[in-house]
Amino acid sequence: MQFARAAWRFLVAIKDGMVLIAMLLFFAALYALLSSQPNSAAIRDGALLLDLNGVIVEEPAAPTFEDFLASSADNSPREYRLRDVVHAIDSSVDDDRVKAIVLDLSSFAGGGQTSLTDVGAALDRARKAGKPIYAFASFYSDDSYQLAAHATDIWLDPMGGIIFAGPGGNRLYYKGLIDRLGVTANIYRVGTYKSAVEPYMRADQSPAAREASQALYGVLWDSWLAEVKKIRPQAVIKPFADDPATFVKTAGGNLAKVAMEQKLVDKLGDKTAFDRFVAEQVGIDETPSPDSFNSIDYDDFVAANPVDRNGSAIGVITVAGEIVGGKTGPGMAASGRIAEQIYKALDEDQIKALVVRIDSPGGSAFASEEIRLALLEAKKKKLPIVVSMGDVAASGGYWVATAGDHIFAEPDTITGSIGVFAVLPSFEKALAKWGVTADGVQTTPLSGEPNFVGGFSADLNTILQAGVENSYGDFVKLVAKARGKTPAQVDTIGQGRVWDGGTARQLGLIDGFGGIKDALAEAAKRAGLAEGDYHPQYLDPESKFSWLPFDGIPFVRQESAPVTGVIGWATQRQKAIFGQALATAQGLLAREDVQALCLECGASVPRNNKASAGWFDRLLAYSFSSVPR
């Protein structure tokens, strides 16, 4: 009895400890949530501080439990919504409390080239209106310098430097590893330039992919150089970027010295010296603060300057991130969620037109079509639809764009990539090394397929490739109808090739250059609205915060996805067969008695084993999924 009481006390102590930990985590997250709320009443005279500690994105991901725990820590990175950054800078122009704009770029992790061009244009407008802009970083690279170039004064830490890498670089190729492991990557694709599958079928880049990449990156690099040189003509940028080793060696390895000599920066000084300089311009901060100058908090300023609501509403729907099925996000372009937002806006019958802001490399063809069909419902209600492309609107992103009456892009927008693919692995070679083989009885050529143990049959490979080709045909027809071309013409500029915005305009894939403001103006014009008599109504999803730690990690997902065509059928079957094999092996090892069990009978009855499957089983099953793009 003494042992039982001790064991009981031990179990109760464990339970109490877990409850205490859960309560501490809850209140820590609640404190972080409440303390992170912006205070629009706290704005005072000073410098608008853009301490961009993170990345600039089109649509920030939904906050998680871990995000709020981390938000109370210093230097925790975050995602900044592009339109909020631009709006904050523009709002500072007519605000007398804003004496200057300070860019702290030491922890800036970057953003898309088009997005940074938009921010730079806003900085130019503020500077032209008389707002001085001061930039500081301990080290500058391409993205941070693209913003800093728009500053009145650029400061650099004496122990820092500048390096321009330019777009491009290497990617990993897994063909050698796949062969060594004995894994077969069953690849189905259409498009000479559809290079997304090359890492699984080659050990290097194909000549076609290299040609497309060189053309694209060359345009992006030239555009970057032109933008920076225009705003900072005295800087010696291209010679330094073309031969950095010589410049650095000549300066004895002192990168800060190179930056000063080549007029890339204006002053050398540490953060303290920079803060004191800004304080001389905007006033000294007498209260305890991380900065010695009077500063205006970015979040407070955004909260104090909401978007104008005058005039008629033009709905703005955002398709940002990888396009997937379901209702997840934001941060992922979930077709179910986005379609629901569109239908809800149509039911409310308040918007006069619709702007679709796309910043997506694509994803599921089925999900892309679901979004397109929702947009067609808006067309049935005679609503004009104007597409605004951001940094990238390619593949599935362009699929969605075909619903637009008019398509805007920027010269540096990455678009096109009209092509599709699917990848499903099988393990016949790897398992054969361990003596695992497959055999059985088939009633049709597809019984037991896809066979991840014995390899896919020729019939299945033919069917899957035909399904991918059919999807490509649908894609080409959509583009041809939307852009007034023949399928043959679209196939010529398709084949999975990626284009820059300038070339896309020449090819007729877009209608003109412009950003979100141009798209809103075009939508208003098509809706018969007078200039200035409209405002954007962003159809953003409701912010959903998950209090469950690690929510959204693949191996704890419980939702089931609908079958989306022959590839979806094969993927679902593959996961089910693999999960069944794991469950059978696990069951045989766990059972300790003589069994009166029909394994063949169990194999013929579809079952949902999620309730009994462990997280490791679900992780393995998830890892073998594939999405056509």
Q: Which residue has the tokens 């953060």?
A: 271
Cβ neighbours, 10 Å, residue 451: 21
Task: Please give the pLDDT value at position 4.
Answer: 61
Two domains, one topology: 36-164+237-304 and 312-419+494-538: yes
Task: Please give the pLDDT value at position 592.
Answer: 56
What band does 14 get if pLDDT is binned at 50, 70 and 90?
A: confident
pLDDT higher for 162 or 27?
162
- Which tokens is 73 given? 């820590």
Q: Where are the domains of the chain?
A: 1-35, 36-164+237-304, 169-223+420-474, 312-419+494-538, 554-623
Angle at 280 (CA atoms; ends 278, 281), nearest 5 degrees: 65
pLDDT higher for 547 or 56?
56
Task: Please give the pLDDT value at position 3.
Answer: 60
Catalytic positions: 194, 395
> Span 272-299, mean pLDDT?
86
CA dist 545 to 36, 63, 68, 79, 330, Å?
Answer: 14, 6, 9, 16, 11
What band does 606 get if pLDDT is binned at 50, 70 and 90?
A: very low
Q: Please say if the pLDDT value at position 493 is more than 90.
A: yes
Task: Please give the pLDDT value at position 451.
Answer: 84
Range among 141-150, 209-218, 425-434 rated most confident: 141-150
> 36-164+237-304: which CATH topology?
2-enoyl-CoA Hydratase; Chain A, domain 1 (3.90.226)
Q: For residue 308, what is the DSSP state?
A: P
Task: Please give the pLDDT value at position 196.
Answer: 83
Residue 249: phi and psi, rounded to 5, are -65, -40
What are the residues whose beta carbons fall under 8 Å from the beta carbon of 100, sequence distance 6 or more?
47, 48, 131, 132, 133, 134, 278, 281, 282
Cβ neighbours, 10 Å, residue 18: 10
CB 325 within 8 A of CB 370: yes
User: What percent of the chain is predicted at pLDDT more than 70?
Assistant: 79
Task: Please give the pLDDT value at position 621.
Answer: 38
User: What percent of the chain is predicted at pLDDT more than 90?
Assistant: 58
End-to-end CA distance of the chain: 64
Task: Please give the pLDDT value at position 612.
Answer: 42
CATH superfamily of 169-223+420-474: peptide peptidase (sppa) like domain (3.40.1750.10)
Q: In this predicted model, what pLDDT tens digit does every residue of 444-485 receive, in sequence order?
A: 888 888 888 888 899 999 998 998 999 999 999 999 999 999
Task: Please give the pLDDT value at position 321.
Answer: 93
> Span 196-221, mean pLDDT?
91
Range among 453-462, 519-528, 540-549 rated most confident: 519-528
What band does 379 get if pLDDT is binned at 50, 70 and 90?
A: very high
Pick the CATH number of 312-419+494-538 from 3.40.50.150, 3.90.226.10, 3.30.1330.60, 3.30.300.30: 3.90.226.10
Q: Which of 40-44, 207-211, 244-248 is predicted least confidently?
A: 40-44
Q: Considering the chain, what is the average pLDDT of its residues?
A: 84
Residue 232: phi and psi, rounded to 5, are -135, 70
